Amino acid sequence: MSKISRRDFVKLTGAALAAAGLGGHAAPADAAPKSAAVHSRGKAYLPKARGPRVVVVGGGTSGLTIAKYLKKENPKFDVVLVEKRAMYSSCFASNLWYAGVINLEFLAGHSFLDAARNGGYTFFSATCTGVDRSARKVHTDQGEIAYDYLVLAPGIDYDYERIGIKDPDTEYRLRTEHPAGWMMGDEHVSIKRKIENFKGGIFVQTVPGGNFRCKPAPYERTCMIAAYFKKHKIKGKVLVLDNNPDIAVKKAGFHAAFDELYKDYVEYVPSINITGVDADTKTIETEFDSYKFDEAAIYPGVRASKLIEVAGLVDAKSPQKEARIDVQKYHVPGDPRVYVTGDSRPMGFPKSAHLANSEGKYVAKVIAAHAAGKAMDWTSPASLCYSMVNAEPKEAISMWVSFNYDKQTNAFSPAKEGTGTDEKRDAIKGEATLDWAEALYGDMFG
Ligand SMILES: Cc1cc2nc3c(=O)[nH]c(=O)nc-3n(C[C@H](O)[C@H](O)[C@H](O)COP(=O)(O)OP(=O)(O)OC[C@H]3O[C@@H](n4cnc5c(N)ncnc54)[C@H](O)[C@@H]3O)c2cc1C
């Protein structure tokens, strides 16, 4: 394989992304000579591996947890975390920022570099463009990395087809003009500005069906936007267009907040099947009606990150294109060197940060056990989820869940003893929401 300089890699980045289908629509592999750059030529410029190399792709909740805990489980592992974002910003605290419950420092004041230094692993700023499992190599826009173990934790992508958007022009307009705010920090900044500049009228928040990322979050965001409108006496309403027949989780707590705190600021409409959006006239088309809006955060359907598809690991039976893995061990069937974790997993667990964090600690043990020639018994991941429903005073509701596994059906169900809700909003849970986020940051970056 011919060598290529690091500068050449930078030039090839655009072509590599296009070919990988990560920066837009995939080009056929042989369409143009440059598209071959999907397979990076030359090695990534990294310190020499000093032990079995574990490459973790994705520096979100799952990847940050796994990178740190792999080193704890086996200090001899040489762990490399590959992340494409230039800066960390959390998704899970973003709703609180809209109503001024937290500041920007709380949302984005953590560094990948500190996480890696504190955790004793290597941070590599690059975009993963493909995986060669037969050669045990990960391709990135900064060169290839050989692995002994590979963890793919790239999170989600949006699926606009689920709301009837089938052309790239409209999808691009929605992504930029009415971003969902369930992926990038940049989307959160855009939504914050929309809320602050809102002059009145209808602010639409849509809610998808399926197993979407953080089920309580669209309803929590509705409360935070309504709290802002109420505080600043903005003559505006959050119109919630929900694909589900009712609020998907913490139903009583959210309905109480909508009715008691935001009667004049929230209108909730269930069972909405969006069939298209006209970005010019700002109209949402549904099976029966159309809804005009002044501003909107349009949350389309959710699917696993496109990287899972690029790596050839999509479960053909998964409507959300999630990964094909052993649901107890998290590795690709027949390949205990390659794992998929976090919101790209196929199990019907909540797509939540708490779950990704607890699951990550278990997966680190599974990999360490495999490297030591041992096996690990399955332990259930858990999720504890607070939702802020009032900003002044800070009041929240909560839920928690863990799972039982049924060998016969190869399926999971909520464990009775580890599952419940506390839907009476209060200030104790309001404080606990912030403590929870601080603890999670501490666990990932400390
Ligand atoms: C508005 C909102 C509110 C939420 N509220 C809560 C909450 O209250 N409680 C809770 O528990 N959870 C909450 N969540 C959910 C939580 O943030 C996610 O479920 C969790 O972060 C999933 O972790 P992950 O690592 O799978 O994905 P992510 O955290 O999204 O991380 C994926 C990472 O992979 C990187 N990546 C992707 N592709 C590549 C590539 N090709 N190369 C390199 N890097 C790549 C991405 O840049 C990203 O950093 C909320 C989410 C949102 C958006």
Q: For ligand 1, is residue 440 a contact (CB within 6 Å)? A: no
Residue 420 CB neighbour total at 10 angstroms: 12
Identify the pLDDT of residue 23: 31
Identify the pLDDT of residue 253: 98
What is the chain's percent helix, strand, coil content, to nearest 5?
Answer: 35, 25, 40
Pocket test for ligand 1, best of 91, 152, 184, 397 (most atoms within 8 A of CB): 91
Identify the pLDDT of residue 35: 35
Q: What are phi and psi of 285, to 5 degrees?
A: -95, 135
Distance 364 CA to ligand 1 centre (A): 18
Domain architecture of the chain: domains with CATH: 6-157+304-371 (3.50.50.60), 162-302 (3.50.50.60)
Instruction: Render pLDDT for 147-187 as a digit per residue (tens, 0 to 9).
Output: 999 999 999 999 999 999 999 999 999 999 999 999 999 99
Q: For ligand 1, is residue 203 a contact (CB within 6 Å)? A: no
Q: For ligand 1, is residue 211 a contact (CB within 6 Å)? A: no
**177, burial (CB in 10 Å: exposed 0-12, middle 13-18, buried 19+):** middle
Pocket test for ligand 1, best of 213, 254, 306, 309 (most atoms within 8 A of CB): 213
Distance 61 CA to ligand 1 centre (A): 6
Instruction: Return the ligand 1 atom nearest residue 183 CA.
Output: 53
Query: What is the Cα–Cα distance from 366 to 377, expressed in whole angstroms?
Result: 8
221: tokens are 């965001």
Q: For ligand 1, is residue 67 a contact (CB within 6 Å)? A: no
Q: For ligand 1, is residue 352 a contact (CB within 6 Å)? A: yes
**5, burial (CB in 10 Å: exposed 0-12, middle 13-18, buried 19+):** exposed
Q: What angle do CA 153, 155, 158 make, to 5 degrees?
A: 155
Q: How far is residue 417 from each of residues 39, 189, 403, 420, 421, measured CA to CA in Å?
A: 48, 39, 9, 8, 12
Q: For ligand 1, is residue 130 a contact (CB within 6 Å)? A: no
Q: For ligand 1, is residue 82 a contact (CB within 6 Å)? A: yes
Three-state DSSP class for residue 12: helix
Distance 228 CA to ligand 1 centre (A): 25
Pocket test for ligand 1, best of 68, 88, 92 (most atoms within 8 A of CB): 92
Pocket test for ligand 1, best of 352, 354, 444 (most atoms within 8 A of CB): 352
Distance 397 CA to ligand 1 centre (A): 22
Beta bridge partners of 422: 398
Identify the pLDDT of residue 221: 98
Give 23-52 as a DSSP string.
Answer: SSSPPPTTSSGGGGGGS--SB---PPP-SS
Amino acid (1-letter code) at residue 321: K
Distance 66 CA to ligand 1 centre (A): 14
Residue 373 DSSP symbol: T
Query: What is the Cα–Cα distance from 121 to 264, expressed in whole angstroms?
Result: 51
Task: List the residue whose alpha carbon is closest to atom 29 of ligand 1.
Answer: 60
Task: List the residue whose alpha carbon is closest to atom 4 of ligand 1.
Answer: 92
Identify the pLDDT of residue 40: 62
63: tokens are 């990847």
Q: For ligand 1, is residue 342 a contact (CB within 6 Å)? A: yes
SS (H, E, C) 191-232: HHHHHHCCCCEEEEEEECCCCCECCCHHHHHHHHHHHHHHHC
Query: What is the Cα–Cα distance from 92 to 438, expressed in whole angstroms?
Result: 11
Q: For ligand 1, is residue 153 a contact (CB within 6 Å)? A: yes
Three-state DSSP class for residue 154: coil
Low-confidence ranges of the chain (pLDDT < 70): 1-41
Query: What is the Cα–Cα distance from 405 to 437, expressed in whole angstroms?
Result: 28
Task: List the residue whose alpha carbon is closest to atom 50 of ligand 1.
Answer: 92
Please provide the distance, in angstroms rounded to a whole number, between the alpha carbons at the two ends of the chain: 40
> Residue holding tokens 């549904």?
286
